[in-house]
A and B are shown apart, each in its own frame.
Chain A
Amino acid sequence: QVQLVESGGGVVQPGRSLRLSCAASGFTFTNYAIHWVRQAPGKGLEWVAVISYDGSKKHYADSVKGRFTISRDNSKNTLYLQMNSLRTEDTAVYYCAKDISEDFWSGLIDHWGQGTLVTVSS
Chain B
Amino acid sequence: DIVMTQSPLSLAVSLGERATINCKSSQSVLYSSKNKNYLAWSQQKPGQPPKLLMYWASTRESGVPDRFSGSGSGTDFTLTISSLQAEDVAVYYCHQYYSPPYTFGQGTKLEIK
Q: Interface of A with B (CB < 8 Å)?
A: 35, 44-47, 50, 59, 61-62, 95, 97, 100, 106-115
Contact = CB atoms under 8 A, between A and B. Distances in A.
Nearest to A113: B49
Contacts, number: 55
B106 to A, nearest CB: 5
A111 B104 CA distance: 16
Kindly state the interface size class of chain B when it binds its partner.
Answer: 20 to 34
B101 A61 contact: yes
A59 B101 CA distance: 8
Interface of B: 38, 40, 42, 48-52, 55, 61, 93, 95-107
B102 A110 contact: no
Nearest to B91: A44
A50 B101 CA distance: 10
A32 B102 CA distance: 17
Given A106-B97, A107-B97, A47 B52 contact: no
Contact of A110 (B52, B99, B100, B105): B52
Contacts of B98: 107
B105 A115 contact: no
B97 A44 contact: no
B100 A115 contact: no
B101 A108 contact: no
Of all A-B residue pairs in the complex, the 7 with the closest CB atoms, nearest first, are: A107-B97, A112-B49, A45-B104, A47-B102, A108-B97, A107-B102, A44-B107
Nearest to B39: A108
Given A107-B98, A109-B52, A44 B103 contact: no
B10 to A, nearest CB: 13
Given A45-B93, A108-B38, A108-B55, 4 more contacts: A47-B101, A59-B100, A97-B49, A109-B52
